[in-house]
Amino acid sequence: MFWTVADAVDYKGFPADRSKTGGWVPAALSLGIEICERLSTMGIAVNLVTYLGGTMHLPSATSANIVTDFMGTSFLLCLLGGFLADSFLGRYRTIAIFATVQTFGTGLLAISTKQPQLRPPPCQATDITKCQHASGIQMGVLYISLYLIALGTGGLKSSVSGFGTDQFDEKDEKEKTQMAYFFSRFFFVISTGTLMAVTVLVYIQDEVGRSWGYGICSICMFTAILIFLSGTRRYRYKKCSGSPIVHICQVVVAARKKRKVELPSSTASLYEDYPEESRIQRTYQFRCLDKASVVTNTDYSEDGAFVSNPWTLCPVTRVEEVKMVIRLLPIWATTILFWSTYAQMITFSVEQATTMQRSIGNFKIPAASLTVFFVAAILITLGAYDRLIIPLLKKRKGKPGFSNLQLIAIGLFLSALGMASASVVEVKRLAVAKANGTTGTTLPISVFYLIPQFFLVGSGEGFMYTGQLDFFITQSPKGMKTMSTGLFLTTLSLGFFFSSLLVSIVKAATGSNGKHGWVGENINKGRLDCFYGLLAALSFINFGLFLLCASWYKRKKAKQVPEMEIIVKGSSVEEKL
Chain segment 292-312, per-residue pLDDT in tens: 999 888 888 888 888 888 899
How long is the chain? 577
Nearest to 473, CA basis, from 460, 463, 486: 486
Per-residue pLDDT at 576:
37
42 neighbors 71 (Cβ within 8 angstroms) = no
323 neighbors 282 (Cβ within 8 angstroms) = no
Q: Where are the alpha helices (DSSP H) in 475-525?
A: 481-510
Percentage above 90 pLDDT, the chain: 26
Is the pLDDT assigned to residue 124 strictly greater than 80? no
Name every residue whose Cβ is closer than 8 Å to that of residue 216 and which is 6 or more positions away in sequence. 201, 204
pLDDT digits (tens, 9 = 90+) for 243-290: 778 888 999 999 999 988 888 777 667 888 888 777 888 888 888 999
Amino acid at 536: A
Is the pLDDT assigned to residue 226 strictly greater than 90? yes
Is the pLDDT assigned to residue 85 strictly greater than 90? no
Per-residue pLDDT at 566:
45
What separation in angstroms does the CA of 332 have from each of 79, 83, 469?
Answer: 15, 19, 11
Is the pLDDT assigned to residue 149 strictly greater than 90? yes
Per-residue pLDDT at 253:
94
Per-residue pLDDT at 184:
64
pLDDT, greater one: 151 or 436:
151
pLDDT, greater one: 444 or 276:
444
Amino acid at 311: W
The pTM of the full predicted model, rounded to 2 decimals, is: 0.79
Q: Helices then strands (H, E): number in the chain?
A: 19, 8
CA-CA-CA-CA dihedral for 292, 293, 296, 298, to nearest 10? 60
Per-residue pLDDT at 457:
92
85 neighbors 482 (Cβ within 8 angstroms) = yes
Per-residue pLDDT at 151:
93
Mean model confidence pLDDT for the chain: 84
pLDDT (average), residues 76-91? 84
- What is the H or E stretch that residue 129 is in? none
pLDDT digits (tens, 9 = 90+) for 496-550: 999 989 988 998 888 776 677 788 777 888 888 999 999 999 999 999 999 999 9
Q: Is 462 helix (H, G, I), strand (E, B) or coil?
A: helix
Per-residue pLDDT at 83:
82
CA-CA-CA-CA dihedral for 125, 131, 133, 138, to nearest 10? -70
Ranges 97-111, 357-371, 547-561: which has the least confidence: 547-561
Is the pLDDT assigned to residue 558 strictly greater than 60? no
Per-residue pLDDT at 502:
92
CA 338 to chain centre: 12
Is the pLDDT assigned to residue 559 strictly greater than 60? no
pLDDT, greater one: 21 or 513:
21
The DSSP symbol for 56 reads: S
Ranges 21-25, 99-103, 322-326: which has the least confidence: 21-25
Burial category of 211 from C-beta neighbours within 10 Å (exposed 0-12, middle 13-18, buried 19 and up): middle
pLDDT, greater one: 453 or 399:
453
- What is the H or E stretch that residue 354 is in? helix 348-354
pLDDT, greater one: 537 or 447:
537
pLDDT (average), residues 476-486? 73
Q: Using only C-alpha atoms, what is the Rg of the chain? A: 26
Structure confidence at residue 180 as a pLDDT band (50, 70, 90): low
pLDDT (average), residues 163-176? 80
Structure confidence at residue 565 as a pLDDT band (50, 70, 90): very low
